[in-house]
Structure 1
């Protein structure tokens, strides 16, 4: 019974954090499952493949719950979501297949390095030369926040597809939803307002998780008892995260993302090296 309560708590926390900053929750679920599996008796032995498979299935519900919540505030850019999904889908399938070849130690080290790199990108973000709005963007969008402030952003389709393919690959490989890459990319390169980037990322997480989960299920990577226990907490956590997102400033969102990724990355690398 204790393991069910633990998984519900993990789902609630992952859903809240994932929806709040657009990660999808997988970046919390995967290391949490691996940690409690290897360091306690609450969960049975888990391979990285099963942890990723469970996370991917859970992200279907996290992404859907968050998207429904963000829809009410009209911050989801659906057109962008579908365009990016055209790259994320194939990338996710390839990543899921590659995941099958990794052992626990290698997975932790690579995953840890990955999230630390994302954290560093966000730390130096304010020191990077701002990208100015380009009239050459093939897709041009305008967003007006509740205060009446107008944001212009956009992108070219080919770079967007290439980037989203890479994001999808990482999503399928690590079971993280891809938000940890796509949100910084949207903000830094395509000038998305952070709230729109997070909301659109959660829509993309939902679409990508549908494809990735089919691949992981076909590979036998899903522990359904664990997934069923995490989903209720993740569902309601996603709603909480979307609500809190509306109450925070853009800078606070980015700061939260930096700290969470840095801590998780260091912990994962330590686990991978120590074994």
Structure 2
């Protein structure tokens, strides 16, 4: 007589194909890497997820015309979860400047909606190249180091609206939470690094939510090969990667206190440079 465990594994083997198991394992590995990197460096999100999803979706049979859109939409959906977790952590330490978050948010949302419309009209190959160029730019920025904070300047509504629209538009086109742009923008205005990172984490949520909704809407009538999609969001990837990344991120945050952050930034910048060149020229 078979035990309950034997029956469970027997049914699982019949219901889960080798292809599904491979897909599941790939998403677990990606979630571990994205979560650990995000916790370690305060980055990772879309910069890791988008290129990885493009390669995985093409491997699973999706066309290159659709894979980048699907990767960006899925990445933004995952960032809705990770940004909440990150913002909560920064709030506990009192680093989130909520007036700055609120003054940036309207421009960010408008920019994201503009970016979604633009991204929907661009071929997948162009989106891939744009992401590669952005990754190379961030790699150079990380390698050279952060700018020294100047005297803190109060953000005007006009400047916040313009900056928010630019950051939101680029975030939606590339599929990131915007932290890699919000942080240097605030530091350039004289905010301390802890405050800038905390505000970037909090603004990642409205960017990701509005972007994910936009890509779901824009992809509702798209011809997508993969099943289990809702617009340009692939739900199996969203569920697995978001859960694993959220579980692993605290480990990366703990390791950040043990390793040299400057060396880690140099290593990650080289990784981004290689990734960007691969996206541009492959």
Question: TM-score, normalized by length of structure 2?
Answer: 0.77
Shift of the 91–232 alpha-carbon distance from structure 1 to 2, 3 Å rule, reads: same
> 2-side partners of 1:122 and 1:260: how far apart?
11
Q: For 1:85-234, what aligned pairs fall within 5 Å after superposition?
A: 85-125=105-145, 130=148, 132-133=150-151, 137-138=153-154, 155-187=155-187, 189-219=188-218, 220-234=231-245
4+ residue runs of structure 1 moved beyond 6 angstroms? Answer: none
Shift of the 241–196 alpha-carbon distance from structure 1 to 2, 3 Å rule, reads: farther
Shift of the 241–185 alpha-carbon distance from structure 1 to 2, 3 Å rule, reads: farther
SS of residue matched to 1:11: helix
RMSD: 2.5
Residue segments in structure 1 that go unaligned for 5+ positions in a row: 139-154
Q: For 1:3-14, what aligned pairs fall within 5 Å after superposition?
A: 3-14=23-34
> 1-side partners of 2:264 and 2:99: how far apart?
24
Among 263, 267, 275, which residue is 2:278 paired with?
267
Residue segments in structure 2 that go unaligned for 5+ positions in a row: 1-20, 219-230
Offset from partner CA, 1:83-121 (integer Å, 9 cap, x none): 221211110111111111222321221111122123223
CA radius of gyration, larger in? 2
> 1-side partners of 2:233 and 2:80: how far apart?
13
Offset from partner CA, 1:48-71 (integer Å, 9 cap, x none): 111111111100011011122222
Shift of the 197–119 alpha-carbon distance from structure 1 to 2, 3 Å rule, reads: same
Instruction: Return the offset for 1:246.
Output: 5.7
Contact 1:24 1:179 in 2 (8 A): no
Instruction: Return the offset for 1:8.
Output: 2.0
Shift of the 259–79 alpha-carbon distance from structure 1 to 2, 3 Å rule, reads: farther
Question: TM-score, normalized by length of structure 1?
Answer: 0.79
Contact 1:8 1:232 in 2 (8 A): no
> 2-side partners of 1:161 and 1:67: how far apart?
22
Q: How many residues align?
A: 247
Query: Which structure's relative contact order is higher, taking Cα pairs within 8 Å and 6+ residues apart?
Result: 1
